[in-house]
Amino acid sequence: MTRPTDPQTGFAPGDLVAVLTTQPLDRTLDYRAPDRGCSLGDFVEVPLGPRRVTGVVWGPGEGGFDPAKVRPVHRVLDAIPMRDEMRVFLARAADYTLTPLPAMLRLATRTPGLGHDVGTRRVYARGAATPERMTDARRRVMAVLDDHGGLTFTLSELAGMAGVGTSVVKGLVRLGAIDEREAPRDTPYPPLDPDLPGKPLASDQAAAAAKLSEAVRGGAYGTTMLRGVTGSGKTEVYLEAVAACLRSGRQALVLLPEIALTAEFLARVEARFGARPAEWHHGVTQTERRRCWKMVAEGGAQFVVGARSSLFLPFRDLGLIVVDEEHDTSYKQEDGVCYSARDMAVLRASIASAQVVLASATPSLETWANVEAGKYAALTLTSRFGDRAMPRMQAIDMRAQDVPAGRWVSPALRAAVAERLERGEQSLLFLNRRGYAPVTVCRACGHMIGCDHCDARMVEHRFSKRLVCHQCGESRPVPPACPSCAVEGRLAPVGPGVERMAEEAAALFPDARIEVLSSDLHASARALKARIEAIAAGAADIVVGTQLVAKGHNFPLLTLVGVIDADLGLQGSDLRAAERTFQLMRQVAGRAGRAERPGAALLQTFQPEHPVIRAILAGDEDGFWRAEAAERRAAGVPPYGRMAGIVLSSPDLQAVFDLGRALARADAPLRRIGADLYGPAPAPIARIRGRHRVRMLVKADKSAPLQAAVAEWLAAVKPKGDIRLTVDIDPQSF
């Protein structure tokens, strides 16, 4: 293949080109264009020392080296070149998050086998025949195929996902239950038909859908908050915006916060458009990821449903990004590159001339502030679809309830659950704490068992009979004796986790079927999904769950939500605590009464007069946001001020503090923009995995050039040895 040399973007053989690689360097490297020349955005393989690494042609070479020593590009990879739009996006995202560009490029090249010709492969799909004798192993294989309607797998993928040996799959091939064939590696996704009839929309839905569709057709950038309580029909509305996007021939992306949600979601997409979208998240096989990446670039994928990292896919023509449950904290990536998927969605869309829809029952204060400032449009769905009422919310004043020590269910909540049991309805007991007990204390000496590597308590998990550190994952068996005083038999659990709540529920309601939903109790996302579906179908009377249950799952028989400790999230010094508690309580309460039965939510609290609790009970969303906005404005914190969190970590405590103090002395660039610097001080979790963590916070006015100042400040002092430095712009907790 000879490449035409475009005078704007092409480089003739021997020209100097700058190549950005994913290697941890803070700059591009110069190479000579190869014999056939190359173009801006080409994926290339270049020599680096003794190795060959992948990179992208980023611009003309910078020169300044001995020309004789500049090596040639080894080869141009057979992959669609990175578009200008993507290069601009990565560069701006790197500037915004203060991330080195190579680390940003890594996010955009997370695809296996980039640029290699992979020819055909043998694939396996559902066959026509039905085996006469079904074994457990065979059933699991068929279940994987049925769960992923229409998708094909390689032999090892299919066997691996089903947890069986490959001989089981081969056996099913011989029986005709599975088809085996050669297929090109990467094929386009089945086309979606936006003109299939959707559900007839209620009037507020129709109005919102029309507005969004019009915006999408306009083909320019814009962001809209789509607000409405859970069940108000937001998903139906934004699927109409997706339809408009598909009709205009552009690609659509829907971000979801949690993988467990996608099964239900994919089925809805299929019902609306006649085929499934492409998927991009951790649960997807390497082969499928490869296909997705390539098809997104070529246009063979019209619609992607994915996790936050799908923002870095090489879309050919992105017209719409929906961020569903936009307030969800899982959109904030906090290790490696710190970024908010919501902010990155807006950035990406503004570069791509695309529309953004931020959907939520409880939008983030950031989004509210942008609506108020006129930067975002707002659409509100006023009623639950079919006029289902939001559940009645009531406080249970725990100061007036007689609850024995080591128990947490009040008589009032107990009576409400008993009523549901009598009527054959489901109850949810909500406690946002995994495990059995958050603290294990020795009653002989008062010692609390902590993690050896982290500044954190070990949490007892009774189902697995282990103590687990929720920071680093370290676990060990519950010891028979106190590790501090060696007295035996005096270790006692303190406080409740969901496992302990399940125990209490079993004692209170011995005949009820009780189920615990917690992220650590299920072997896989698939197993969890299966449990959720069984529960939704009525397999449990009482569900004891963590925030896992708060996220959009539909439990039609559920009519009571009992919040065990509504005060839990209000403790501590986190300024976002109020916002999170408000959102979480409203989301959890929204689980009740989704079908034809009205629901109730009971909040156990020791401070019913707390303004956040009162706002939750009153359902006064606007009032809550006004009060919260006023407080943040007064404190000058996001979204009304700007912040950067810098965490220094090292096994050597002295070294991190020394660096922190050196940074504090070099604060001239920060003072120049009028920013305040706090710290160095121990981070909220002062040690993780044996590394001491010290934090510094920079606080500046909304209009101050925060990133430029922070970049200049940090450049002056280089971390030495094993010190790691991470920057988090607008950190979640501060």
Residues that bind ligand ADP (CB under 6 A): 199-202, 205, 228, 230-236, 385
Q: Which does 453 bind (CB under 5 to 8 A by kind): Zn ion, ligand ADP, none?
A: Zn ion
Binding segment for Zn ion (CB under 5 A), chosen from 16-24, 92-100, 371-379, 462-470, is 462-470
Residue 325 or 565 having the CB closest to ligand ADP: 325
- Which partner, Zn ion, ligand ADP, none, binds residue 235 by CB below 5 to 8 Å per kind? ligand ADP
454 binds Zn ion (CB under 5 A): yes
Q: Is residue 475 a contact residue for Zn ion (CB under 5 A)? A: no
Stretch that binds Zn ion, among 123-131, 266-274, 406-414, 449-457 (CB under 5 A): 449-457
Query: Taking the C-alpha atoms of 239, 245, 251 and 257 in order, what is their torsion angle to the nearest 10 degrees?
Result: -30
Is 471 among the residues that bind Zn ion (CB under 5 A)?
A: yes
98 Rama sector, left if φ>0, alpha if ψ -120 to 50, beta otherwise: left
Distances 14 to 61, 79, 191, 497 between C-alpha atoms, Å: 11, 22, 43, 65
CB 216, min distance to ligand ADP, A: 18
236 binds, among Zn ion, ligand ADP, none (CB under 5 to 8 A by kind): ligand ADP
Cα 9 to chain center, whole Å?
Answer: 36
Looking at beta carbons only, is 236 or 565 nearer to ligand ADP? 236
Selected binder of Zn ion within 472, 577, 629, 653 (CB under 5 A): 472
**Smaller CB distance to Zn ion: residue 458 or 616?**
458
To the nearest 10 degrees (0 to 180), the angle between helices 136-147 and 155-162 is: 110
Nearer to ligand ADP by Cβ, of 99 and 362: the residue is 362
**CB closer to Zn ion out of 372 and 452:** 452
Nearer to ligand ADP, 227 or 693 (CB): 227
Which is it for the CA torsion 507, 510, 512, 518, positive or negative? positive
Radius of gyration of the chain (CA): 28
Q: Which residue number, 199 or 423, has a Cβ lying nearer to ligand ADP?
A: 199
Between β-strands 51-60 and 16-21, what pairing exists: parallel, antiparallel or unpaired?
Answer: antiparallel
Q: What DSSP letter does each residue of 93-111 carry, written as one string?
A: HHHHHT--HHHHHHHHT--
How far is Cα 180 from Cα 178, in angstroms, rounded to an integer? 7
CB 703 within 8 A of CB 672: no
Q: Which is nearer to ligand ADP, 324 or 728 (CB)?
A: 324
Q: Considering CB distances under 5 to 8 angstroms, the limit depending on partner class, which of Zn ion, ligand ADP, none binds residue 231? A: ligand ADP
Report the alpha-carbon distance of residue 539 to residue 512 in Å, rounded.
Answer: 11
User: What angle separates helix 621-635 from helix 577-589, to the nearest 10 degrees?
Assistant: 160
**Binding flag, residue 451, Zn ion (CB under 5 A):** yes
CB of 457 or CB of 695, closer to Zn ion: 457
Q: How many residues bind Zn ion (CB under 5 A)?
A: 7
Q: What angle do CA 82, 104, 263 make, to 5 degrees?
A: 85
Q: Minimum CB separation from ligand ADP for residue 677, in Å?
A: 43
Q: End-to-end CA distance of the chain, in Å?
A: 54
For ligand ADP, the closer of residues 536 and 696 by Cβ is: 536
CA distance 263 to 277: 12
Least spacing, CB of residue 226 vs ligand ADP, in Å:
9
Instruction: Based on the shown chain and the rule CB under 5 A, indicate whether residue 467 belongs to the binding site for Zn ion.
Output: no
Residue 411: how many CB atoms within 10 A of its CB?
11
One of 159, 344, 396, 469 touching Zn ion (CB under 5 A): 469
> Least CB distance from residue 457 to Zn ion, whole Å?
10
Give the nearest distance from C-beta 471 to Zn ion in angstroms: 5
If contact means CB under 5 to 8 A according to the sort of partner, which of Zn ion, ligand ADP, none does residue 471 touch?
Zn ion
Cβ–Cβ < 8 Å for 341, 311:
yes
Q: How far is the CB of 453 from Zn ion (least distance, A)?
A: 4
| Partner whose binding site includes residue 650, from ligand ADP, Zn ion, none (CB under 5 to 8 Å by kind) | none
Closest separation in Å from C-beta 180 to Zn ion: 46
CB 380 within 8 A of CB 228: yes
Per-residue x/- track, 92-121, Zn ion (CB under 5 A): ------------------------------
Give the separation between CA 327 and CA 360, rounded to whole angstroms.
Answer: 7
The answer to whether 698 touches 643, Cβ cutoff 8 Å, is yes
Which residue ranges make up the site for Zn ion (CB under 5 A)? 451, 453-454, 469, 471-472, 474
